[in-house]
Structure 1
């Protein structure tokens, strides 16, 4: 295992740190202490060629705004909170409405803009960085201080692991995720239309025109949302199904895991042979097919465009703050938030 650190000068008054972790297979992961942003995950294709399989900006300065949340840690609450408000017991908490009338991904000053304290570590089998941050009581409108620890680690089995841990002395909603856009073709040379996806899920959250869950969980049977057998993302991107059209041509929906398979999600790119398996103790995931990716941005691999990456946002559901039947996200004082998501990379030979 190898771990390198370099300074990145973006703002005059401070520097960011870029960490590079490499294993004996040549797999390499790069990430910043600013926003916990993953800038590269380089893995081999079936011919052994190493390429980056996540989207990243060409210029670090674009992460200062990062309106598409590329590669970032998301919190306090990943996803949209209806009406930018929620209630605990009899007390109402108002949040920033940064997505129309709703609150998205922790607000404009969410964890994707935090300069995290970073402690690197390395041993024979694993290397990575432990990020910590204290989110103060009332930050972004949320109640209670939250002590956070997020660990990024890479091992010799080509597994990139994210461990999340948090606690608070007050009841507060919390669900964390990472917003990496994956493209297994490598270096974003193709869109994700022909990525094959398998999801261990038989139901998903119906969305309204604002992309807010209506409160209904729909069965996936006989819809473009049935990924219990692998299917191309193209089918949903090109579908005339109302739910695919509401999302902007594709997916931006919460899938509840049936928890019948070890791998909650499997993504394949036939041409490169790359396979990514996702294992997690989260109850579900938002799959977002970059339907609204800003096409004005310049990425490391070229110009941005719709459907260039797929986000697999493993998390609880913020819909649970207003609706019944969704995975809860309330963290209580006697509890420790402890979640893990593993991205395991393999090769499928012809």
Structure 2
């Protein structure tokens, strides 16, 4: 998450709304193989599928916080680029999700247009696995910031993957070996801008409820709006939703469907959505920065343990094949594409 200085000068997060209770795990603890941190990580990934990762008091974490602060400024400037420039770099669904998604291009559960835009950069291009995607000059001039953020995110994802594997009595590399950054995948760095909600008609969902399609998501944001569905609750029941209160210096981490598949249902990929920001925060635009990790294209999606297998297919499919045969739900518009070759994104 961003440093505390980015939390200064914004409207306060209200104290009178229902917030989700999430474990806070220390990055320093994970890096030091601390038993308590490992146990907290597994418990969070089994019960809610979300947790806070505290980057503070860790050398790499502190460097990542500084990088996030810089990218928040860059991200706002990217969204402020003239529409004529952004429209030269629109995503090309279903071929590719890279580039800009305009506001209103998807629908919410009420069939109303969404209230957010995003900008995606592919890991493959940033790593040199394929040619870098076409980008505005403004982004190219700042590409090293994105590469730095991706590198930190890759290291953190590896620590989480190793921790979960060992806690599940699997070899440490079990999950990490299926997400090598040097191999083709759909992993992206994403900026999201959810627009302010000053009018009564704006007090609705900005991004439809969904589960993430990949393995691990690392999210940094300052203003509220993210909501998590209470396990066992119905997405149609407003009382079943809980707000996530952003914490300075802490990333929000959640698991995606691939981790459920690999663990035979032992871990949880929880439903979540972006609502309008709570309280006075609704009068401000909400910016987020995320790394969304997905399995490498040719990784096997066969479960690596058979604890439950409830709702999990014992498949021989590769990640690319598995993603293509997943049910086409409206929410998956946000997280997958159907592309045949090296443009797999």
Greater share of strand residues, 1 or 2? 1
TM-score range (shorter-chain normalised) is under 0.3
TM-score (norm 1): 0.26
TM-score (norm 2): 0.26
